[in-house]
Structure 1
Amino acid sequence: MGRISEDTQARNEEAIRAAMDRLLRGNLSPGGKCDLRALASEAGVPRTAFHAEKNRDGTARPGPYQHLAQEFERHLSALRGAGSVPDPRTAQIEKLKDFKRRALSQIAAQHLEIERLREQAAAVGNVGRLPSGRSGTAPYRSCS
């Protein structure tokens, strides 16, 4: 990225901070995520400006907005740690994981209940099994 004026850099930083605020409040574009790519897109700056760059001699130097990327990641981590996730897809995934856990728990409980009832029925001894139908035939005669 070429050199930019201090005025342009200040305007870009202001745009990044405004975009950061919007994203962290959950104002995401449809299908968007709360990440550096979305931040760069919302602010209208190149994503590479958030990462370290290399000088011609191979030494690293911070990107012009790397400090803002780090600030954004800290805020995002704090929100996730507090259970307030601004990314609706992540929240949906968490809800689906919880639903799966509850469903598996219910299935396991129902399976145990079925096994208990089968054992109880076998212990009583007065419950008989229904005859199995021949394959390809209905268990009952036709009504017609």
Structure 2
Amino acid sequence: MPRLNEQDKARNEAAVRAAMERILRGDLPPGAKADLKTLAELSGVTRTGFYAKRNRDGTSCPGAYQHLAEEFARRLQELQDAGEVVDPRAAQIVRLKEENALLKDRIARRDGEVAKLTAFRALAISRLAAGGWRLAAGGPARGNRAAAVTTPTGGRSTRGGDPPCVGGPHPRGPSSGPGAVRGHPHREP
């Protein structure tokens, strides 16, 4: 590989500095991160210039643009320490973590509400059972049907239908809901 002359090296350094400013402003190509790989791609130089090299005798030789890589890393760290997020992917990760925490809190609150309502339901059912009321099959758990309960006196009571018969359960079936019998046999029409 041919050696860089001073003019090529100066032009490449200017391109690296321009790319560095672009990245530090947050102007990144889609899918790119704020790192040396993106810096090399945007400036048009190889990444090897950003790293130190070893000579054949084992001594270390600085890369052609290693000082720029160190400056980039330092400036990026200063921005991050100041609270600025240059990398849009990192900003998205921070935003998603905050949303995740809010959603977890919301789920915990809803779970608490569901637990309270379940306890209230169990208490209400136990109080009805203790008072001698029995829930009929097809009650509120079955969708839109009216909740039918049998009263302690044996009469059938429904929500939204005819009043319960005084003489016991309705002889022709329920007075509301699917298959309801209209009219009342104990009353005149």
Aligned residue runs from structure 1 range 62-141, under 5 A:
62-124=62-124, 125-126=126-127
Partner-residue secondary structure (3-state), 2:63: coil
Higher RCO (C-alpha under 8 Å, 6+ residues apart): 1
Structure richer in helix, relative to its length? 1
Question: Counterparts of 1:103 and 1:139 in 2: how far apart (Å)?
Answer: 30
In structure 2, what is the equivalent of residue 8 of structure 1? 8
Identity among equivalent positions (%) equals 47
Aligned residue runs from structure 1 range 2-81, under 5 A:
2-81=2-81
What is the CA distance between 1:30 and its match in structure 2? Answer: 2.1
What is the CA distance between 1:99 and its match in structure 2? Answer: 0.8
TM-score (norm. length: structure 1): 0.80
Deviating beyond 2 angstroms after TM superposition, the runs of 4 or more aligned structure 1 residues are: 116-132, 138-141
Larger radius of gyration: 2
Q: 1:111 to 1:140 in 2, by over 3 A?
A: closer
What is the CA distance between 1:7 and its match in structure 2? Answer: 1.8
CA contact (8 A) 1:121 1:127 kept: no
Stretches of structure 2 lacking an aligned partner (at least 5 in a row): 130-134, 146-177, 179-189
Partner-residue secondary structure (3-state), 1:3: coil
What is the CA distance between 1:63 and its match in structure 2? Answer: 0.8
What is the CA distance between 1:23 and its match in structure 2? Answer: 0.9
Q: What RMSD over aligned residues (CA atoms) do the two structures have, in Å?
A: 2.8
CA contact (8 A) 1:53 1:60 kept: yes
Q: 1:130 to 1:92 in 2, by over 3 A?
A: farther
In structure 1, what is the equivalent of residue 162 of structure 2? none
